[in-house]
Structures are given as structure tokens and as C-alpha cells.
Amino acid sequence: MPNLYADITMFRARFLNNQALDATDQTDVLRVLEAASRRVDDHCRRTFYAEVATRHFDGNGCSLLLLPDLLGATSVKLDEDMDRTFELTLAAATDYFLLRHGYRDPDALPATAIRLDAWNGQRAVFQRTPRLLEITGTWGYTEAVEDTGAQTDFGDATGTSMLINVNDAVAPGQTLRIQSEQLYVRSGSGASFIVDRGVNGTTATAHASPTTLYRYTYVPEVREAALIIAGRLWARRQTSYSNVIANPVVGQFEVYKQVDPDVVELLYPYVLREAR
């Protein structure tokens, strides 16, 4: 359950006056935050976290091919004879450009398209065949991190108990980076936590001591929208998700169930409007 755009600490500060949560409520809040984060993704038709993966795309007969948000490519290959083997490797220096299509700075990240270099490269257009292109890289809108101020170590690739040297420097619901590995903080407090290793396509490996922990950060508007959605879901559970609530002071009123207007405004600049 990684890639929550807000964590337990943020939720407690915003909605619970920093009150402590028991284990059951904490698990429930994390589920609500995950649901809210995925609702943000669905609304924007893109994801805001970094995931290492290999993806395949159909050729379109043109020199430009639109892509999902791509933060960096480690391998770009073509399968032009449709034998499901990607024989032709393309080089970034000569064969293609990654660009943010339609943006004021085409070199900005994330890239949203790949263009073949017809002058210097091996190909001028993407052959119009299914599953022509294979890209291995880091996908998503951002991979920004900040230093948690804490350090830890993992002596092997399987351990899930994490001890840190600065109490409460991390919190459940956060996705962390230690060297090139991503970790999801599932539970814990103080200096002791339980984590999921090697999430988002990264590999769990041993890490020497001490190693700095970094925390993934997300676009402020995305974080705020996720908190608003999560807060509404958490509050509505008290009414069994009823449509109408009776109150002795104001009488009966209907709960507003559509997308919160503040969420719509916050996410408007990030909604993907091109089919990819």
C-alpha cells in the first residue's frame, strides 16, 4: 500500500487535533488515505509517484509518440519484426529525444512524448505495428525527495524491521528512499517501524550503516486534495455513509457527495487532457 500523498501525521494534525490513534484506527486511516490518493490519480488520469517499470507501446507511423509521464529512460528498444524480441536498441544521444509535449519548456520533466531524430538516428518514424516500442525507466509525475534527518541500515534484502536514529523522523504512510530502493512505512512510531521493501519496482538490497533516509514529497495541490478527500471519507463513516443527516439544530440536510469543489480547483492544472 505505498504511494500515499499524505501520511498519518498530516491526517492527525488536520482532522484529529494530533490525537493518537490505536492500531485499528491507524490502519483504517491509511486505507482512507490510499483511497483518496488513488481518487486523485483517477481524477487527473496520471500518477504522481515514481515507479520503475518496463512498458510497451504501439507504433503510430509518425516520428512523435505520446507517452505517460516519464521521468527518465534507461532502455529504449524496438521490435520491428513482431517476434516479441526487441532487437534494436535506441540511443538517447543520437536516436531520440524525450520531451514534454506542448509545454512551455519541452525539456522539463516529466517527459510526455518521445521523438525520433531523423537526421542523426537509426529511424525516422515509429513503424505502425503493435507493441513496437519498449521503454524501461522511471514513470510518474515527480520523484522529488527530502532528507528525513534520520539514518538507518539494512544488513540484508529481506528484513522489514527498521530502526532509525531520530525518533518520529518518519511516519506511517510515507514512501522512503534509501539509496536506490524505495520503502513503504506500514506501521510504527518513535524509532521502530515496519516497512515494505523494494516497492514501486525497485529492488530490496543490503545497505550499510549509517545510510540516510529520504522521504518522497508530492505536489502541494495533490497533497491537499488527497487530505480533503480523505477527511470527507473519514467523516462520512460516522453517518454510515448516509445521504441525509438529521441534526436537532439545523434539521435535515443532504451530504454533498460529488467531487469537492476545492479538490477540482486544486487539481485542475494537473488533469491530463491528451489521450495517451
pLDDT tens column, 1-11:
689 999 999 99
pLDDT tens-digit profile of 213-269?
999 999 999 999 999 999 998 887 776 666 665 656 555 555 556 788 999 999 999
- Mean pLDDT, the chain, rounded, equals 93
Predicted pLDDT at 212: 95
Residue from 154, 184, 180, 181 nearest 170 by CA: 184
Q: Which residues of the chain have pLDDT under 50?
A: none
Residue from 74, 165, 87 nearest 123 by CA: 87
For the chain, the helix, strand and coil percentages under 3-state DSSP, each to the nearest 5: 20, 35, 45
DSSP H or E run through 213: strand 207-216
Predicted pLDDT at 235: 84
Predicted pLDDT at 236: 78
Helix (H, G, I), strand (E, B) or coil at 251: strand
Cα(214)–Cα(236) distance, integer angstroms = 34
